[in-house]
Amino acid sequence: MNGDSFIKYMARQSRSNNSTRAAVADKREAILRAAITVFARNGYFNSKVSDIAGEAGIADGTVYLYFKSKEEVLHSVFDRLMEEMISEGEKELEGIIDADKRLRRIAQLHLEKLGSDRNLAIVAQVELRGSTKFMEEFSAAGFGQYLDIIRQTFIEGQKQGVFRQDLNATVCAKIFYGALDEMVTNWILSKKSYALAPMADTVMEVFFGGVLKK
Amino acid sequence: MNGDSFIKYMARQSRSNNSTRAAVADKREAILRAAITVFARNGYFNSKVSDIAGEAGIADGTVYLYFKSKEEVLHSVFDRLMEEMISEGEKELEGIIDADKRLRRIAQLHLEKLGSDRNLAIVAQVELRGSTKFMEEFSAAGFGQYLDIIRQTFIEGQKQGVFRQDLNATVCAKIFYGALDEMVTNWILSKKSYALAPMADTVMEVFFGGVLKK
Amino acid sequence: MNGDSFIKYMARQSRSNNSTRAAVADKREAILRAAITVFARNGYFNSKVSDIAGEAGIADGTVYLYFKSKEEVLHSVFDRLMEEMISEGEKELEGIIDADKRLRRIAQLHLEKLGSDRNLAIVAQVELRGSTKFMEEFSAAGFGQYLDIIRQTFIEGQKQGVFRQDLNATVCAKIFYGALDEMVTNWILSKKSYALAPMADTVMEVFFGGVLKK
Amino acid sequence: MNGDSFIKYMARQSRSNNSTRAAVADKREAILRAAITVFARNGYFNSKVSDIAGEAGIADGTVYLYFKSKEEVLHSVFDRLMEEMISEGEKELEGIIDADKRLRRIAQLHLEKLGSDRNLAIVAQVELRGSTKFMEEFSAAGFGQYLDIIRQTFIEGQKQGVFRQDLNATVCAKIFYGALDEMVTNWILSKKSYALAPMADTVMEVFFGGVLKK
DNA sequence: AATGAATGAGCATTCATTCAT
DNA sequence: TATGAATGAATGCTCATTCAT
């Protein structure tokens, strides 16, 4: 005995092919966006699942239809961010051949991306680091890949003869990333409001030419 | 008023001045050390007060004789670290006049300090950032001071004519700190075991001279 | 926007209006009844929230869906009792005009009400007094109102010419209430089992006529 | 090897006969007084042993040299009060033969005693009732004895022909006590400041003559 | 799929009591 | 006797997760 009405039956039919998948993605997306807002506001550990659900305008239980746990929500935020940064980066870097120009473009993209969404930046910089376990086990993949892109670009530059060959590419990649990262962290914590993206230029200036007077 | 003998009175005084105060400091110290170990292992939020007490070999309640709350333990870890880094730094830098040499020494000290205590480094890098609130409200003082020392040194170098005057000192300080910070973070997360301190050289090499081939 | 059928929507509505509200009231009620039992058995401070939950046959956390805290449970017990005694009293006294008959009816109702639920009486007599704060801040309203009804009735009797006009109404109301109260307290503490309500007659006899032989 | 000084030794000797016992009684007394103050302020369950010790100007542990537990302190407060009221009462009533005069004197003494020490009254009225267990198990003896003195006096009055013989002495004793008790309770809770003792007259007036107009 | 009431494991903190000094 | 640092059992409350509807 199925109590469903005809109307509901039709509605389910119409949903089942295209729109279902899209709707699912939409709601997942909405939850992730809500999570970023909430995590940025209170931190991961101080955020309740019900806060996320409330922010997303859904019931608490619904979160569990799209994510296995609160932790998985956090991982998904990170995964999506890394995925986006890498894929967007690849697209943007497609035509750029010179390693120095590629590196400069990476710096710009990095700061543009995080500078355009303060909440996302907060979660990325602060919350995602709130757990050694997380850093070790989960972020490894995405983050390592990101750092590797920088490293490969640096090596390419060394081959191209633009970058000094006496420097360790891995360490240089870290320095480069660390410098950018610090720009973001300070931007988040700053009480003043300023654009993040333009700082890419100064970073590149120093990274390329150093601070010593010649 | 008090039936105690003079000798006994003096003994008690001397105890309460020397050994008691020392004992109190010792236990506080022991708790902090235990907390660093435990926080490094599980993260702040996943650490129980009873874990800290257990690690320190004391009863749960005893923690509260020395700290007001679990949170205060975390803050104390941070405060002590910043204090140490700043005071040790000041002592080490005393005789060094050249800004470039001072900066190099700061880099070395930073990596030596954190490189000598992996747990402390983990807490410093990972746990202390696990809370936006924490970063904003508490670390502000110590961390800001630390960054300012670097900035002042840089400005000094600009005056001395060693550093380029067209660069913004604040941004350069952040780049310098960010690069060092990333060395530490990667060192912590790395599965390989290597010395952290020597990386100061490469960082200085890049920070000073840049990566571009001349 | 919602794929639910109209029928289903209506069904849910009617459920949330009737049965849901009733169910909520039922569970609140069940918790209050459980609390009275538990408080009567062990006293407020020696009762655990889990005792109340256990007695009510629900999980610990469920108590907090209906009450903000353990303390609020106690207050609710008291509030409900005062409310009931006053509203039931007003209903019962409606047609009674003579002040002496009203007073007698109040005495009967008071002892009937508490005499019909030993646990409730225990909580009312013993637990609710276990805190000066409670007596001062919370019971003020209800208890004061109750005592005032007695006082007004006494004044009415003085106007009607049944009661001596040389007596202070407030003090007489307290004597009346105090006498009844002591009946209840002794009944609770007594190891013998006897009916409480009939004692109203003796109290009225003494209160009306005094103990002196004429 | 005993480190005690000669002075201390002599001091101990001088204390050991008379003054020791007195000193012990004094400190016990001081603790009880402190306890009354503290219990009156916060209630028994909300009072810490360290509060009592602090109020008495001694160390926490010292309380346990004079009392077995916090609960025993409460019982001692009660025991001493009952003892005092009964022994003082007996002394005061010694020469009084007429039962009505005895009863009037009891009422006066009761209100004088509690009216002279608000904190004691608070503890007696409010805190000592905060536990069914307490009322049942401990106060039984003292309180029962007190009520019995009233009852016996009433019976005496019936024999003397002053009191009506158709009334149950036990119930009358309770009414009498209940009326007095309520005077005290209201006095404690009242925000206005007034003398408690004079209310004995009104209580006797009503108890003896009743409220009905003749 | 969506709901949200119910669950119950988990934990920071308190405080009566002890005991070495 | 007196101290007060140390203990550790005890508990109110939270919140991630489940599941009947």
Position D4 scores a pLDDT of: 54
Inspect the interface and report whether the beta carbons of A181 and B182 lie closer than 8 Å.
yes
Position C6 scores a pLDDT of: 47
DSSP secondary structure letters along chain C: -----HHHHHHHHHHHHTHHHHHHHHHHHHHHHHHHHHHHHH-TTT--HHHHHHHHTS-HHHHHHH-SSHHHHHHHHHHHHHHHHHHHHHHHHTT--SHHHHHHHHHHHHHHHHHT-HHHHHHHHTGGGS-HHIIIIIHHHHHHHHHHHHHHHHHHHHHHTSB-TTS-HHHHHHHHHHHHHHHHHHHHH-SS---STTHHHHHHHHHHH-SB--
Candidates B128, B132, B49; CA nearest to B81 is B128
- Angstrom distance (rounded) from CA D73 to CA D31: 8
- Angstrom distance (rounded) from CA D84 to CA D113: 9
Inspect the interface and report whether the beta carbons of A129 and B132 lie closer than 8 Å.
no
Residue A112 has pLDDT above 90, yes or no: yes
Phi then psi for residue C203, to 5 deg, are: -60, -45
Q: Contacts of residue A27 in chain C, CB cutoff 8 Å?
A: none
Give the 3-state secondary structure of A4-36. Answer: CCHHHHHHHHHHHCHHHHHHHHHHHHHHHHHHH
Residue D35 has pLDDT above 80, yes or no: yes
- Angstrom distance (rounded) from CA D170 to CA B113: 83
The reply to whether D213 touches chain C by the CB within 8 Å rule is: yes
Inspect the interface and report whether the beta carbons of B164 and A212 lie closer than 8 Å.
yes
Candidates C143, C207, C152, C205; CA nearest to C175 is C207
Phi then psi for residue B163, to 5 deg, are: -105, 150
Inspect the interface and report whether the beta carbons of B133 and A43 lie closer than 8 Å.
yes
Under 8 Å between Cβ of B36 and B120: yes
Q: Using alpha carbons only, give the angle C48, C55, C122 rounded to the nearest 5 degrees.
A: 75
The reply to whether B4 touches chain D by the CB within 8 Å rule is: yes
Inspect the interface and report whether the beta carbons of A8 and C4 lie closer than 8 Å.
yes
- Angstrom distance (rounded) from CA A62 to CA A129: 27
Judge if pTM exceeds 0.85.
yes
Our measurement of CA B69 to C1' E13, in angstroms, reads 8
Position D130 scores a pLDDT of: 56
Which pLDDT band, with edges at 50, 70 and 90, does A131 fall under? Answer: low
Cβ atoms < 10 Å from Cβ of C194: 9
Our measurement of CA C61 to C1' E14, in angstroms, reads 21
Which pLDDT band, with edges at 50, 70 and 90, does A191 fall under? Answer: confident
Position D169 scores a pLDDT of: 96
Beta bridge partners of D163: C212
Min mean pLDDT across B116-120, B133-137, B194-198 is at: B133-137
Whether CB of A86 is under 7 Å from strand E: the answer is: no
Under 8 Å between Cβ of B87 and B157: no
One-letter identity of residue D51: D
Min mean pLDDT across A47-51, A75-79, C201-205, D23-27 is at: D23-27
Inspect the interface and report whether the beta carbons of A5 and C3 lie closer than 8 Å.
no
More confident residue, B191 or B127: B191
Position D191 scores a pLDDT of: 84
Position D199 scores a pLDDT of: 95
Task: Tell me the pLDDT of chain C averaged across its residues.
Answer: 87
The set of strand F positions with any atom below 7 Å of a protein CB reads 1-20
- The answer to whether B and D touch (≥3 CB pairs < 8 Å) is yes
Query: How far separated are the first and last CA of chain D, in Å rounded?
Result: 86
The angle, 0 to 180 degrees and rounded to 10, between the axes of the packed helices D70-93 and D99-115 is 140
With distances taken from each CA to the C1' atom of nucleotide E6, the closest residue turns out to be C62
- Residues with Cβ within 8 Å of A92's Cβ and at least 6 positions away in sequence, in order, are A105, A109
Inspect the interface and report whether the beta carbons of B208 and A212 lie closer than 8 Å.
yes
Tell me A68's DSSP state. S
Position B144 scores a pLDDT of: 82
- Angstrom distance (rounded) from CA A103 to CA A115: 18
Site from C4, C9, C15, C65 to mutate, A interface, most A CB atoms within 10 angstroms = C4
Residue with the two structure tokens 């009964």: D86
Residue of B nearest to D4 (CA): B5
Position A22 scores a pLDDT of: 73
Beta bridge partners of B163: A212
Which pLDDT band, with edges at 50, 70 and 90, does C82 fall under? Answer: confident
The set of strand E positions with any atom below 7 Å of a protein CB reads 1-20
Whether CB of D118 is under 7 Å from strand E: the answer is: no
- Angstrom distance (rounded) from CA B134 to CA B119: 19
Residue of C nearest to D200 (CA): C171
Position C126 scores a pLDDT of: 78
Across A34-49, average pLDDT: 94
Taken in order of first residue, the domains within chain B and their CATH numbers are 1-67 (1.10.10.60), 70-214 (1.10.357.10)
With distances taken from each CA to the C1' atom of nucleotide F14, the closest residue turns out to be C61
Structure token digits, residue D86: 């009964």
Task: Tell me the pLDDT of chain A averaged across its residues.
Answer: 87
Min mean pLDDT across A84-98, B120-134, D141-155 is at: B120-134
Residue D15 has pLDDT above 70, yes or no: no
> Which tens digit of pLDDT belongs to each residue from A146-160?
899 999 999 999 999
Whether CB of D50 is under 7 Å from strand E: the answer is: yes
More confident residue, B126 or C108: C108
Residue B18 has pLDDT above 80, yes or no: no
Task: Please report, for residues A188, C136, C138, C144, the alpha-carbon distance to residue D122 in angstroms, rounded to integers and kept in the order given.
Answer: 57, 12, 17, 19
Residue with the two structure tokens 């409220």: D211
What is the number of alpha carbons within 13 Å of residue B122 lying toward its C-beta? 23
Residue D11 has pLDDT above 60, yes or no: no
Position A1 scores a pLDDT of: 42
- Angstrom distance (rounded) from CA C109 to CA C205: 16
Which pLDDT band, with edges at 50, 70 and 90, does A171 fall under? Answer: very high
Tell me D129's DSSP state. G
Structure token digits, residue C106: 């109040």
One-letter identity of residue D168: N
Sequence-separated contacts (24+) of D2-11 with Cβ below 8 Å: D3/B5, D3/B7, D3/B8, D4/B5, D4/B8, D5/B4, D5/B5, D5/B6, D5/B7, D5/B8, D7/B3, D7/B5, D8/B3, D8/B4, D8/B5, D8/B8, D11/B3
Across B63-69, average pLDDT: 97
- Angstrom distance (rounded) from CA B88 to CA B113: 10
Candidates B195, B104, B197, B206; CA nearest to A179 is B206
Task: Please report, for residues C33, D58, D90, D112, D204, the alpha-carbon distance to residue D95 in angstroms, rounded to integers and kept in the order given.
Answer: 53, 43, 10, 19, 20
Position B9 scores a pLDDT of: 45
- Angstrom distance (rounded) from CA A72 to CA A65: 12
- Angstrom distance (rounded) from CA A23 to CA D192: 68
Q: Using alpha carbons only, give the angle A179, A181, A184 rounded to the nearest 5 degrees.
A: 115
The reply to whether C130 touches chain D by the CB within 8 Å rule is: yes
Q: Contacts of residue B3 in chain D, CB cutoff 8 Å?
A: 7-8, 11-12
Position D50 scores a pLDDT of: 98
Tell me D138's DSSP state. I
Phi then psi for residue B210, to 5 deg, are: 80, 170
DSSP secondary structure letters along B95-121: T---HHHHHHHHHHHHHHHHHT-HHHH
Task: Catalogue the E-assigned strands of B35-136.
Answer: none
Inspect the interface and report whether the beta carbons of B175 and A126 lie closer than 8 Å.
no
Our measurement of CA A61 to C1' F18, in angstroms, reads 9
Burial category of C72 from C-beta neighbours within 10 Å (exposed 0-12, middle 13-18, buried 19 and up): middle
> Which tens digit of pLDDT belongs to each residue from C90-131?
999 999 999 999 999 999 999 999 999 999 999 988 776 655
Min mean pLDDT across A58-67, C55-64, C134-143 is at: C134-143
- Angstrom distance (rounded) from CA C196 to CA B44: 60
Cβ atoms < 10 Å from Cβ of B119: 16
Cβ atoms < 10 Å from Cβ of A41: 15
Which pLDDT band, with edges at 50, 70 and 90, does A127 fall under? Answer: confident
> Which tens digit of pLDDT belongs to each residue from C130-174?
555 665 665 557 778 889 999 999 999 999 999 999 999 999 999
Structure token digits, residue D11: 């001091």
With distances taken from each CA to the C1' atom of nucleotide F12, the closest residue turns out to be C49
Our measurement of CA B189 to C1' E3, in angstroms, reads 42
Position C127 scores a pLDDT of: 74
The C-alpha of B47 sits at a distance from chain D's nearest C-alpha, in angstroms, of 30
Position C111 scores a pLDDT of: 97
Across B74-99, average pLDDT: 92
Q: Length of chain A, please? A: 214
Under 8 Å between Cβ of B180 and A178: yes
Task: Please report, for residues A197, B39, B45, B199, D126, the alpha-carbon distance to residue A133 in angstroms, rounded to integers and kept in the order given.
Answer: 31, 11, 12, 25, 55
Residue of A nearest to C5 (CA): A8
- Residues with Cβ within 8 Å of B140's Cβ and at least 6 positions away in sequence, in order, are A189
Under 8 Å between Cβ of A89 and A128: no
Q: Contacts of residue C4 in chain A, CB cutoff 8 Å?
A: 8
Residue B78 has pLDDT above 70, yes or no: yes
Whether CB of A23 is under 7 Å from strand E: the answer is: yes
Under 8 Å between Cβ of B72 and B132: no
Residue with the two structure tokens 């006082």: C151
Buried b / exposed e over B8-33, threshold 16 CB at 10 Å, is eeeeeeeeeeeeeeeeeeebbebbbb
The C-alpha of D209 sits at a distance from chain C's nearest C-alpha, in angstroms, of 4
Q: Length of chain C, please? A: 214
Candidates C27, C36, C198; CA nearest to C117 is C36
Position B12 scores a pLDDT of: 45
Inspect the interface and report whether the beta carbons of D209 and C210 lie closer than 8 Å.
yes
Position D127 scores a pLDDT of: 74
